[in-house]
Amino acid sequence: MRAGTLGIVAGRGRLPQRLATAEAEAGRPVVVAALPGTDMDGFGGVPVFAARYEKLGRLMADLRSRGVDRVVLAGAIARPALDWRRFDLKALAAVPRILRAFRRGDDGLLRVVMAVFEAEGFHVVGAHEILPDLTLSPGAAGRHRPSARDLADIARANGILTALGPVDLGQAAVVAGGLCLGVETIQGTDTLLGFVADTAGGFRRSARGVLVKRPKPGQDLRADMPVIGPGTVAGAARAGLAGIAVAADTVMVLDFAETCRDADAAGLFLWAIDTP
Interface ranges with a copy of itself (CB under 8 A): 78-80, 102-106, 152, 156, 159-160, 163-164, 166-167, 169, 177-183, 185-187, 191, 195, 199-200, 202-203, 205
Burial class of residue 86 (count of CB atoms within 10 Å of its CB; 0-12, 13-18, 19+): exposed
Closer Cβ to a copy of itself, 125 or 160, answer by number: 160
Rank residues 108 and 229 by Cβ distance to a copy of itself and give the closer one. 108
Nearer CB in complex with a copy of itself: 9/176:
176
At 218, give phi and psi (nearest 5°): 80, 0
Minimal distance, residue 99 CB to a copy of itself, in Å: 10
CA 173, CA 147: separation in Å to the nearest integer?
18
Q: How far is the CB of 222 from a copy of itself (least distance, A)?
A: 22
> Among 12, 2, 15, 69, which residue's Cα sits nearest to residue 35?
12
- Give the nearest distance from C-beta 178 to a copy of itself in angstroms: 3
CB of 157 within 8 A of CB of 241?
Answer: no
Helix residue ranges, H only, the chain:
15-25, 56-65, 89-93, 95-103, 108-119, 127-130, 148-164, 189-199, 230-238, 256-266
Query: Smaller CB distance to a copy of itself: residue 134 or 176?
Result: 176
Q: Which is nearer to a copy of itself, 23 or 224 (CB)?
A: 224
Question: If we measure between CA atoms, which residue out of 144, 149, 158 comes closest to residue 176?
Answer: 149
Least distance (Å) between residue 94 CB and a copy of itself: 17
Q: CB of 233: closest distance to a copy of itself in angstroms?
A: 21
